[in-house]
C-alpha cells in the first residue's frame, strides 16, 4: 500500500512525524508537505509563481519526504501527479496542531488537503488534535490508528473522505470512545487590530473571538467537548438539493434574455 502524508503545519511538524512513523507499519509512506506553516490557507493553489520542492531526510524516518513551497493542496497535487512514482492508495493530512471542527473546516489547509485527495478519487483522511501548541503528539497519533484501521478494513467498499478530531487527553485510556458526528457551526465576532508601520501607514491583524458554537449532541463539537474522538464523513458536493427543487419551480422559461 502506498500512503501519502501531508499537513498544513509544515514539513517538520511533530504531528506529521508521529503519524508518518506509525503509518510505516501499513505500507510505503511518502511525505509531501509545505516548507512552512500554511494554517487557515484553505484550498488555495499556487498559480502565479513557480512551485519549488526538495527531497529531505525527515528526522530518523526511512521514507521519501519532500518539502514544497506551496499550499497543502499544492502538495497533494504535485505529489500525485509528479513526485510519486505510483499513485497513493491512501492520503492522510495531519496531525494538525489544533482542532478543525464544524464550519471551521472551510478555512482549514489540513482538511483541504484531504479534500484534494478525494478529488483524485483516493480515500483521504484529515486528522486534527484539539490542543494547540502541543509538544507531544504520541497520544493523538495512537488514537488516530483506531480510525485508520477501520478505513483499511473497509477499503474499496466506500469512497472515504473523513474529518477526524481527537480530544486532548493524558492517555489513550482517557478517551471515551469514537462518535460519528455531523459538522457543527461556529460563530465568531471578528475584529481587525490596526497598527502603524514605520512609515505611518496602517496595517491590520485579524483578531476576534468565538461567540457561539453549536453543541447539539450529534455534532463534532459536542463529541470533542465530551472527550470523544469525532469522525465526520464529508464530501465536496456543495449542491443544495432542496433548493434545486424549489428554484426549479421558478418561471425561468418566461424570462427573455437579451
In this prediction, residue 249 carries a pLDDT of 83
In this prediction, residue 53 carries a pLDDT of 98
In this prediction, residue 108 carries a pLDDT of 97
In a domain, 172, yes or no: yes
Residues 6+ apart with CB under 8 A from 219: 102, 181, 182, 183, 184
In a domain, 88, yes or no: yes
Give the Cα separation of 191 and 181 in Å (integer).
Answer: 31
- Where residue 48 sits, what CATH number does that domain have? 3.40.1210.10
In a domain, 190, yes or no: no
- 131-148 tens-digit pLDDT: 989 999 999 999 999 999
Q: Which domain holds residue 23?
A: 2-183+216-254
Number of domains in the chain: 1
What's the grid cell of residue 236? 465536496
> Which segments in the chain show pLDDT lower than 70?
157-158, 253-258
In this prediction, residue 210 carries a pLDDT of 80
In a domain, 197, yes or no: no
* pTM, two decimal places: 0.93
In a domain, 206, yes or no: no
Amino acid at each position: 500500500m502506498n500512503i501519502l502524508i501531508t499537513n498544513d503545519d509544515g514539513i517538520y511538524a511533530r504531528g506529521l512525524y508521529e503519524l508518518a512513523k506509525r503509518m510505516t507499519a501499513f505500507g510505503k509512506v511518502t511525505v509531501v508537505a509545505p516548507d512552512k506553516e500554511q494554517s487557515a490557507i484553505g484550498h488555495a493553489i499556487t498559480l502565479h509563481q513557480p512551485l519549488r520542492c526538495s527531497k529531505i531526510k525527515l528526522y530518523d524516518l526511512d521514507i521519501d519526504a519532500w518539502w514544497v513551497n506551496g499550499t497543502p493542496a499544492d502538495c497533494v497535487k504535485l505529489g500525485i501527479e509528479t513526485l510519486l512514482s505510483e499513485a497513493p492508495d491512501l492520503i492522510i493530512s495531519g496531525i494538525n496542531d489544533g482542532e478543525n471542527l464544524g464550519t471551521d473546516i472551510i478555512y482549514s489547509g489540513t482538511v483541504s488537503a484531504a479534500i484534494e485527495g478525494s478529488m483524485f478519487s483516493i480515500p483521504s483522511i484529515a486528522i486534527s488534535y484539539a490542543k494547540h501548541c502541543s509538544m507531544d503528539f504520541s497520544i493523538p497519533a495512537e488514537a488516530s490508528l483506531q480510525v485508520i484501521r477501520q478505513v483499511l478494513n473497509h477499503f474499496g467498499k466506500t469512497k472515504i473522505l473523513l474529518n477526524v478530531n481527537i480530544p486532548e487527553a493524558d492517555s489513550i485510556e482517557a478517551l471515551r470512545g469514537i462518535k460519528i458526528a455531523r459538522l457543527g457551526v461556529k460563530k465568531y465576532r471578528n475584529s481587525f487590530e490596526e497598527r502603524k508601520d514605520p512609515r505611518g501607514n496602517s496595517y491590520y491583524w485579524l483578531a476576534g473571538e468565538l461567540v457561539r458554537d453549536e453543541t447539539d449532541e450529534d455534532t463534532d463539537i459536542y463529541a470533542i467537548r465530551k472527550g470523544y474522538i469525532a469522525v465526520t464523513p464529508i464530501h465536496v458536493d456543495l449542491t443544495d438539493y432542496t433548493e434545486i427543487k424549489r428554484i426549479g419551480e421558478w418561471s425561468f422559461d418566461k424570462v427573455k434574455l437579451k
